[in-house]
Structure 1
Amino acid sequence: MTTLASTVDTNADGFAGNRAAMLDKLSELEAEHAKAVAGGGPKYTERHHSRGKLLVRERIELLLDEDAPFLELSPLAAWGSEYQVGASVVTGIGVVEGVECVLVGNDPTVRGGSSNPWTTKKIFRAGEIARKNRLPLINLVESGGADLPSQKEIFVPGGRMFRDLTQLSAAGIPTIALVFGNSTAGGAYVPGMSDHVVMISEQSKVFLGGPPLVKMATGEESDDESLGGAQMHARTSGLADYFAVDELDALRIGRDIVARLNWRKQGTAPKQEVTPPRFDDEELLGIVPAELKMPFDPREVIARVVDGSDFDEFKASYGSSLVTGWASVHGYPVGILANAQGVLFSEESQKATQFIQLANQADTPLLFLHNTTGYMVGASYEQGGIIKHGAMMINAMSNSTVPHISILMGASYGAGHYGMCGRAYEPRFLFAWPSAKSAVMGPQQLAGVLSIVARQSAAAAGKDYSEEDDAAMREAVEAQIEEESLPMFLSGRLYDDGVIDPRDTRTVVGLCLSAIHSAPVEGASGYGVFRM
Structure 2
Amino acid sequence: MIHSRLDTAGADFQARRAAMLARLGELAAEQARAVAGGGPKYVDRHRARGKLLARERVELLLDPGSPFLELSPLAAWGTEHPVGAGVVTGVGAVSGRLCVIVANDPTVRGGASNPWTLRKTLRALDIALANRLPLVNLVESGGADLAGQSEIFIPGGRVFRDLTRLSAAGVPTVALVFGNSTAGGAYVPGMSDHVVMVRERAKVFLGGPPLVKMATGEESDDESLGGAEMHARVSGLADHLAADEHDAIRIGRRIVARLGGPAPAPPPAAVRPPRHDEEELLGIVPGDLRVPFDPREVIARLVDGSEFDEFKPLYGDSLVTGWATLHGHPVGLLANARGVLFSPEAQKAAQFIQLAGQARTPLIFLQNTTGYMVGKEYEQGGIIKHGAMMINAVANSTVPHLTVVMGASYGAGNYGMCGRAYDPRFLFTWPSARSAVMGPAQLAGVLSIVGRAAARARGQVYDEEADAEMRRAVEARIEEESLPFFLSGRLYDDGVIDPRDTRTVLGLCLAAVSGAPGPERPAGYGVFRM
TM-score normalised by the chain length of structure 2 = 0.99
Distance 1:24 1:334 in 2: 32
Q: Within the alignment, does 1:288 sit opposite 2:285 as a pair?
A: yes
- Residue of 331, 352, 356 corresponding to 1:359: 356
Which residue identity lines up with residue 437 of structure 2 in the other structure? V
How far off its partner does 1:467 sit?
A: 1.2
Q: What's 1:471 paired with?
A: 468
Deviations 1:330-375 (A, max 9, x none): 0000000000000000000000000000000000000000000000
* In structure 1, C-alpha distance between the alignment counterparts of 2:263 and 2:104, rounded to whole Å: 28
Stretch of structure 1 that moved more, 286-295 or 518-527: 518-527
| 247, 255, 268: which one aligns with 2:253 | 255
Conserved in 2, the CA contact under 8 Å of 1:179 and 1:197? yes
**1:382-421 matched pairs, under 5 angstroms:** 382-421=379-418
How many residues get paired?
529
Deviation at 1:518, TM superposition (A): 1.5
Q: Report the CA distance shift for 1:405/1:294 in structure 2 as closer, same or farther (over 3 A).
A: same
Segment of structure 1 superposing worse, 271-280 or 353-362: 271-280
Q: Are the aligned partners of 1:365 and 1:521 in contact in 2 as well (CA < 8 Å)?
A: no
2:421 is aligned to 424
Name the CA distance, whole Å, in 1 between partners of 2:20 and 2:430: 9
Q: Kindly provide the CA deviation profile for residues 123-172 of structure 1, in whole angstroms up to 9, marking residues without a partner as x.
A: 00000000000000000000001001000100000000000000000000
User: What is the CA distance between 1:521 and its match in structure 2?
Assistant: 4.0
**Number of the residue aligned with 1:485:** 482
Among candidates 436, 440, 444, match of residue 441 of structure 2:
444
Q: Hey, what does 2:375 align to over in structure 1?
A: 378
Same amino acid, percent of matched pairs: 74
**Residue 19 of structure 1: CA displacement?**
0.5
CA 1:265–1:301 in 2, change beyond 3 Å: closer, same or farther? farther
1:271 positional shift: 3.0
| 1:273 Cα deviation from its structure 2 partner | 1.2
Letter in 1 for 2:313: A
CA contact (8 A) 1:106 1:143 kept: yes
Letter in 1 for 2:405: L
**Does structure 2 conserve the Cα–Cα contact (< 8 Å) formed by 1:88 and 1:113?**
yes
Say which SS state the counterpart of residue 488 (structure 2) adopts. helix
| Equivalent residue, structure 1, for 2:104 | 106
Whole-Å Cα distance in 2 between the matches of residues 440 and 236 of structure 1?
A: 57
Residue in 2 that maps onto 1:138: 136
Distance 2:283 2:40 in 1: 37
2:9 is aligned to 11
Q: Which amino acid aligns with 2:475?
A: E
Alpha-carbon displacement from aligned partner over 1:396-416 (angstroms, at most 9, x marks no partner): 110000000000000000000
The answer to whether the Cα contact below 8 Å between 1:265 and 1:519 also exists between their aligned partners in 2 is no
Q: Deviations over 1:204-239 (max 9, x none)?
A: 000000000000000000000000000100000000
Is 1:47 aligned with 2:45? yes
Deviation at 1:263, TM superposition (A): 4.1
Measure the CA separation in 1 of the matches of 2:105 and 2:522: 40
Task: Report the Cα distance in structure 2 between the residues aligned to 1:49 and 1:397, rounded to whole angstroms.
Answer: 48
Instruction: State the 1:269 CA deviation.
Output: 4.6
RMSD between aligned residues: 0.9
Deviation at 1:525, TM superposition (A): 3.5
State how far apart, in whole Å, the 2-side matches of 1:398 and 1:315 are. Answer: 22
- Counterpart residue number, 1:242: 240
* Matched residue, 1:325: 322
Q: Matched residues in 2 for 1:527 and 1:460: separation?
A: 44
Alignment of 1:295-310 (within 5 A): 295-310=292-307
* SS of the residue 1:206 aligns to: strand
Aligned match of 2:205: 207
**Which one-letter code corresponds to 1:261 in the other structure?**
L
Rounded Cα–Cα distance in structure 2 between residues aligned with 1:170 and 1:474: 53
In 1, the alpha carbon distance for the partners of 2:178 and 2:128 equals 22
Name the amino acid aligned to 1:132: A
CA contact (8 A) 2:396 2:523 kept: no
Question: Is the Cα–Cα contact under 8 Å of residues 413 and 438 in structure 1 kept in the other structure?
Answer: yes
Q: 1:279 aligns with which of 264, 273, 276?
A: 276
1:79 maps to which of 77, 80, 86: 77
2-side partners of 1:384 and 1:68: how far apart?
52
Q: C-alpha distance in 2, partners of 1:295/1:191?
A: 51
Q: Deviations over 1:365-400 (max 9, x none)?
A: 000000000000000100000000000000011000
Deviation at 1:443, TM superposition (A): 0.3
What amino acid sits opposite 2:500 in the alignment?
R
Aligned with 1:159: secondary structure? helix
SS in 1 for 2:412: helix
Aligned partner (choices 58, 66, 69) of residue 68 of structure 1: 66
TM-score, normalising length: structure 1: 0.99
Deviation for aligned residue 1:265? 5.4
Alpha-carbon distance in structure 1 between the residues aligned to 2:522 and 2:23? 39
Task: Provide the rounded CA distance (Å) in 2 between the counterparts of 1:270 and 1:259.
Answer: 18
Structure 2: distance between partners of 1:470 and 1:19: 37
Q: Look up the equivalent residue of 1:377 and give its one-letter code.
A: V
| Aligned mates of 1:525, 1:17 — CA distance in 2 | 45
Aligned AA (2:83) = V
C-alpha contact 2:137 2:174 (8 A) present in aligned 1: yes
Asked if 1:455 corresponds to 2:430, the answer is no
Structure 1 residues 263-287: Cα deviation after superposition (integer angstroms, max 9, x where no partner): 4357x65532111000000000000
Which residue number corresponds to residue 186 of structure 2? 188
Contact 1:394/1:418 (CA < 8 Å) preserved in 2?
yes
Letter in 2 for 1:102: V
Distance 2:300 2:311 in 1: 15
